Every structure is written in C-alpha cells, then in structure tokens.
Amino acid sequence: MPNERQDANAGNEAESPFKGKTGLSRICNALSYSLAGLRAAYQHEDAFRQELWLAAVLIPLALLLPANVQGKALMIASVLLVIIVELFNSAIEAAIDRISLDQHRLSKRAKDIGSAAVLIALTNVMIIWGLVLFG
C-alpha cells in the first residue's frame, strides 16, 4: 500500500516535462506561446479573422459612443469575450481534427457545442450593446 509521500509524487510522473520553468523564463515562454497561438488563429481560422476585424471596429466605436464608463467597459468586454470564445472553439476543432478527420457523432457534437458558445457570445454582444445604447 503506498504511503503519503508516494501519493504526493505519483502525479509528478504524468506531468509534462515542459512544466519545470519558473520566473521570468516561464513568463517569456508563456507570452511566446500565446502570441504563436494568436498568429496561428489569425492565419488558419476565417471566423477568428472576421471577429478580430469586427472587434477592431467595435472597440473604438464603443469608446466614441455616448455611454458612461461602465457601459463602455461592458461593450468592450462583450466583444473581447467573442474573441476568447472563438479561440477556445478553434482549439477544440483543431484538437478533434488532430485526433481524427473521420465523421463521428461525438466529434460533431463537440464542434457544434463550440459553435453554439460562439453564437451565444455574439448574441451577448448584441444584447449588451442594445441595453447600453437604447436601454
């Protein structure tokens, strides 16, 4: 029967060998990976490009429209949420395609659910902007 020390170390064997970096090195690597992810999304994902260009229009527009600071913050946050959700959706789709390009009901379900999340985020933009501007 394993003791407490063995239990504590058992999880370390399954962790990635890339998890050992700390401090400034870790921050620099994380920034590099994040920028690579944004670059990959922009290069390979049409929906991400479209939503990024939409954000490039809507965020400055939010700053120019007659709304209070909280309203502007909500408007900008709702647009950024679309970008975040699209990144997750694109990551899910890429992972599923990496596993298999074969048609499978669970792959379809995962991709459809990711797409639904993007739709809800876009609906959220319309509701927030409508409430701030006309509510």
Q: Delimit the domains of the chain by residue range.
A: 1-44, 45-135
Residue pair 124/95 in contact by the 8 Å Cβ criterion: no
Query: pLDDT tier at 18 (50, 70, 90 boundaries)?
Result: low
51 catalytically annotated = no
Indicate the CATH number for domain 45-135. 1.10.287.3610
User: For residue range 88-124, what is the model confidence (pLDDT) as tens digits?
Assistant: 999 999 999 999 999 999 999 999 999 999 999 999 9
Looking at residues 35-47, what average pLDDT do you find? 96
pTM of the model as a whole: 0.81
Do residues 122 and 89 lie in contact, with contact meaning Cβ atoms separated by under 8 Å?
no
**Residue 36 main-chain phi, psi, to 5 deg:** -65, -40
Q: What's the mean per-residue pLDDT of the chain?
A: 90
Catalytic residue (choose from 45, 51, 86, 93): 86
Q: What is the mean predicted confidence (pLDDT) over 35-41?
A: 96
The Cβ of residue 10 has, within 10 Å, a number of other Cβ atoms equal to 10
> pLDDT tens digits for 59-83?
999 999 999 999 999 999 999 999 9
